[in-house]
Amino acid sequence: MRLDLFLKLSRLIKQRTMAKQACDGGRVSLLGRKARAGGEVHVGDEIILNLRDRFIRVRVLEVPTGNVSKARARTLYEVLEERDVNPF
């Protein structure tokens, strides 16, 4: 599954276009490398999101095959680290 689609379905990022922009802007890493929106996500992969106001590191537990409910979206990944980033 494409990284931008996984980020949207897991609700780590609300919209696919925003996920693509984050990837293109170098704010998303997959397996320790800057990720492209079309990069493939697999079970066990580690994703790092370094967004404007937060830093999140997750491990992929499941790659869905279709649409995902809001309740199930949180089961797709395990949060390894999460913190607010204060620019000041």
Q: How many CA atoms lie within 13 A of 64 on its CB side?
A: 19
Please give the residue range of the domain that contains residue 21.
3-84
* pLDDT (tens place) for every residue of the chain, 88 residues total: 999 999 999 999 999 999 999 999 999 999 989 999 999 999 999 999 998 888 999 999 999 988 899 999 999 999 999 998 776 6
51, 22, 58: which is closest to 39 by C-alpha?
22
- Asked if residues 47 and 79 have their Cβ atoms less than 8 Å apart, the reply is no
In the three-class reduction of DSSP (H, G, I as helix; E, B as strand; rest coil), residue 81 is classed as strand
C-alpha–C-alpha distance, residues 43 and 19, integer Å = 19
CATH number, domain of 74, equals 3.10.290.10
Looking at residue 85, what is its pLDDT? 79
5, 6, 9, 1: which is closest to 70 by C-alpha?
9
Q: How many domains does the chain have?
A: 1
- pTM attached to this predicted model: 0.90
- Run of H or E including 63: none
